[in-house]
Amino acid sequence: MKRTTIMLGLVMSVIACLAQPKRTYDVAAYLYPAYAADDPRLRPFWPTGMGEWETVMTMQQRNPGHYWNRRPLWGYINEADPSVMEMEIEQATSHGVNVFIFDWYWFDERPFMETTLTNGFLKASNSGKMKFYLMWANHNVENYWDTRIAHLGENNIIWRGGVSREAFEKMCRRNIELFFRQPNYYKIDGKPVFMIYELSTFIEGIGGVEQARDALKWFRKEVKKAGFPDLELQFTMWAPQFNYSGFDAAKTDKPRDEFVRKLGFNSMSHYQFCHFINVDDDYANILEQAYQEWEKLEEEFTIPYYPHISIGWDNSPRTGRSAVTRDNTPERFEQALRKAKAYLDARPHLQPLVTINSWNEWTETSYLQPDNIYGYGYLDAVKKVFVEDSR
């Protein structure tokens, strides 16, 4: 009788497992929109008209004998061409990448590098297969983008990333109408997601902590006015000490959490390992530090953290020399993805979202797109973990 009861319990457990629907995941890759042709605002930095492909193509010419010699298997494509983006969407979604997080810029009172999104992605016939959202890349622009003078190391600021309240409102209204209303704009519980890259730059540009809080509160109201239940305001985590006047950290044992919640942020992720880890190291060591950071953030913050995986780091195409992530093979990347998946599976209350750097950061050597070194290895790793293992 006892044996029969045990067997019956095992059978019921198997049936329960089979009845559970397979969990689907939102695998979101950051997309750097500089690989576009015929965008006149890019020509001051890359005069040939190919965007930052010019930096990639001229690497050996500018640095004879340099070790970096990567080549894209898809060629030097124009990602602002909808037919090209159709191919990319097919490749991304078939390998399990179903969200693009567009690096989105606003300089000199207008958008910058937006044609990959507006002319390429949104006009692609299959864009409905893929979600997207914006990360406001509000950093200063220095002359390192211009490879003709970047080696001088002058660090001259061309545009500042901070904006006034008037500019912020103009920018937000435009994004609500032009992007948030798109049927494939990525949402969490119906709330459009908007990510801010540099919190300190935003605060300084808008005039202080209280001014930033008020501006973000206004933004949230505008999103609700547009018919959405709310705004999912996402924070790009670096490794900052939030020491701003007007914020009293002594009132809580979780000062950073109190700070970002006071400003109105709902969730967070990372953009790149280099923002909080010494990436001049073996990939296995870097990953261990990243996993420790995930656990630390979960303890320190009450807002959700979505796990992030960077593929690597080497920005010598821009600078000629760089810290370099070593042994970041597709196999090790696959192990990192499995760790991120396990993190989400252990927290079923979270949106099943993982962020990856990136789809196409060629000049920082952190990309999913196939190349002459690993072929489709990184994309295949995503497919193994988030498509084949989830069937």
164-185 mean pLDDT: 98
Residue ranges per structural domain of the chain: 23-390
CATH class of 23-390: alpha beta
The answer on pLDDT for 183 being more than 80 is yes
> Whole-angstrom Cα distance, residue 148 to residue 144?
9
**How is 17-35 classified by DSSP, letter by letter?**
HHHSPPPP-EEEEEE-TT-
> Whole-angstrom Cα distance, residue 93 to residue 217?
35
The answer on pLDDT for 354 being more than 60 is yes
State which amino acid sits at residue 168: F
How high is the pLDDT of residue 10?
44
How high is the pLDDT of residue 303?
96
Sign of CA dihedral 75, 71, 153, 356: positive
How high is the pLDDT of residue 9?
47
How high is the pLDDT of residue 139?
94
How far from each other are the two terminal CA atoms of the chain, in whole angstroms?
36
Confidence grade of residue 25 (pLDDT, cut at 50, 70, 90): very high
Q: What is the mean pLDDT of the chain?
A: 91
Least confident of 177-181, 183-187, 386-390: 386-390
The answer on pLDDT for 35 being more than 70 is yes
368-387 mean pLDDT: 98
Q: What is the pLDDT of residues 47-62, one digit of tens each?
A: 999 999 999 999 999 8
How high is the pLDDT of residue 389?
85
> Whole-angstrom Cα distance, residue 192 to residue 232?
6
How high is the pLDDT of residue 158?
87
How high is the pLDDT of residue 145?
77
How high is the pLDDT of residue 286?
98
Three-state DSSP state, 359: coil
How high is the pLDDT of residue 253?
66
Q: Who's near 160: CB < 8 A, 6+ residues apart?
A: 140, 201, 205
How high is the pLDDT of residue 79?
98
> Whole-angstrom Cα distance, residue 193 to residue 190?
9
For the chain, what percent of residues have pLDDT higher than 70?
90
Instruction: Report which of residues 8 and 85 the model is more confident about.
Output: 85
How high is the pLDDT of residue 18?
43
The answer on pLDDT for 2 being more than 60 is no
The answer on pLDDT for 327 being more than 80 is yes
Confidence grade of residue 22 (pLDDT, cut at 50, 70, 90): confident
The answer on pLDDT for 15 being more than 50 is no
Q: What is the pLDDT of residues 225-269, one digit of tens each?
A: 999 999 999 999 998 656 554 555 445 567 889 999 999 999 999
**How is 179-216 classified by DSSP, letter by letter?**
IITSTTB-EETTEEEEEES-HHHHHHHHTSHHHHHHHH
Instruction: From residue 155, give the alpha-carbon distance in Å to each of 152, 184, 217, 322.
Output: 8, 38, 34, 16
Phi first, then psi, for residue 361 (nearest 5°) are -80, 75
How high is the pLDDT of residue 289?
97
Residue 161 · residue 222 · CB < 8 Å: no
How high is the pLDDT of residue 38?
79
Q: What is the pLDDT of residues 109-164, one digit of tens each?
A: 999 999 999 999 999 999 999 999 999 999 998 877 777 776 676 777 888 999 99
β-bridge pairing 267-269 and 157-159: unpaired
